[in-house]
Amino acid sequence: MTDLLLSTVIQTLVDWDTQIFLAINGLHNDYWDNFMQMFSGRFIWLPFYLSIAYVMFRCFPWRVNVTCLIVLALLITINDQMSGSLIRSFVGRLRPANTDNPISPLVHIVDGYRGGRYGFPSAHSANCWGLAFFIYYVFRRHLLTTTLMAWAFITCWSRMYLGVHYFGDIIVGMLVGVVTASLVYYVFQRSLHRMTETYKPYQPDAPHMYIPVMVCWLEILLMLILSFGYNAHTDTF
């Protein structure tokens, strides 16, 4: 009886997960195909990442920055290994767009992109939410935090729109990112207490604190404009 109830609950959750995914994936047109494919790219956000590093080096001593960058690299490595290798290989849940998945004929894909074989949890979600929360712990700036949360949310939405992740993949990836960022920052703080005490900007209202916010929204605005002329199916303008 208990096994039957558990099986029913799990199947219900899977059905809801599939319905949410298909609803989001079904909201497609050429314009949003272009935008979501650009937004989901990794290298397009390099200016945003560099702007965060710039603010760090403006606010904190160089030794703190070097340590922080090492910790960030460790955080991303942990998220990648947990999401992309450990959990995925153990759970083995097919991506929605994978041709072996029964729902794949219903999935809208862009430019033939289907991702890898397994997608639970989303490494994109784990990494962007991990970065968002770590930066929140470091800077404690409301506007920067809000921008990072919006960036992480749209990134996750793009992964479902592109047909490579279920809603459940995104939620679990987010939990992985938040938990690992919290644990890594806690250990970082406990191990290097004297150093982390300097993690307070010397100028609380310094203009350069807004640079990552402006860079992020300018990139998004540029993508919104370019999406009118960019063809995701041919990778040309």
pLDDT at 175: 96
Check pLDDT > 90 for residue 205.
Answer: no
pLDDT at residue 196 greater than cutoff 80:
no
For the segment 82-115, what is each residue's pLDDT rounded down to a tens digit? Answer: 888 889 988 989 999 999 999 999 999 999 999 8
**Residue 6 CB partners (closer than 8 Å, separation 6+):** none
Mean pLDDT across 210-230: 92
| Residue 69 banded pLDDT, cuts 50, 70, 90 | confident
Give the number of domains in the chain.
1
pLDDT by residue (tens digit) across 13-56? 899 999 999 999 999 899 999 999 999 988 999 999 999 999 88
Alpha-carbon Rg for the chain in angstroms: 20
22 found inside a domain: yes
Residue whose C-alpha is closest to residue 169's, from 7, 18, 28: 18
Say yes or no to pLDDT of 187 above 90.
no
CA dihedral 102, 105, 111, 115 (to 10 degrees): -10
Question: CA 122, CA 172: separation in Å to the nearest integer?
Answer: 7
> How many whole angstroms separate alpha carbon 81 and alpha carbon 87?
8
What is the percent of the chain where pLDDT is above 70?
Answer: 89
| Angle separating helix axes 62-80 and 167-191, nearest 10 degrees | 140
Residue at 183 is within a domain = yes
Answer whether residue 234 is part of any domain. no
Say if residue 237's pLDDT is above 50.
no
pLDDT grade for 195, boundaries at 50, 70 and 90: low
Q: What percent of the chain has pLDDT over 90?
A: 58
> Which pLDDT does position 204 carry in this prediction?
57
> What's the CA gap between 102 and 9, in Å, rounded?
21
Please check whether residue 56 is in contact with residue 65, taking contact to mean a CB–CB distance below 8 angstroms.
yes
Residue 236 maps to a domain: no
Polymer length of the chain: 237
Whether 124 is in a domain gets the answer yes
Residue 237 forms part of a structural domain: no
Q: What is the mean pLDDT of the chain?
A: 87
d(CA 35, CA 228): 9
More confident residue, 42 or 191: 42
- The answer to the question of residue 231 being in a domain is no
Evaluate whether 93 touches 169 at the Cβ level (below 8 Å). Answer: yes
Average pLDDT rounded to a whole number, residues 140-165: 95
- Residue 62 inside a domain? The answer is yes
* Partner residues linked to 118 by β-bridges: 94
pLDDT reported for residue 36 = 96
Please say whether the beta carbons of 149 and 99 come within 8 A. Answer: no
Residue range of the domain that includes 187? 2-26+34-226
Segment 134-159 shows an average pLDDT of 93
Give the integer Cα–Cα distance in Å for 154 and 185. 25
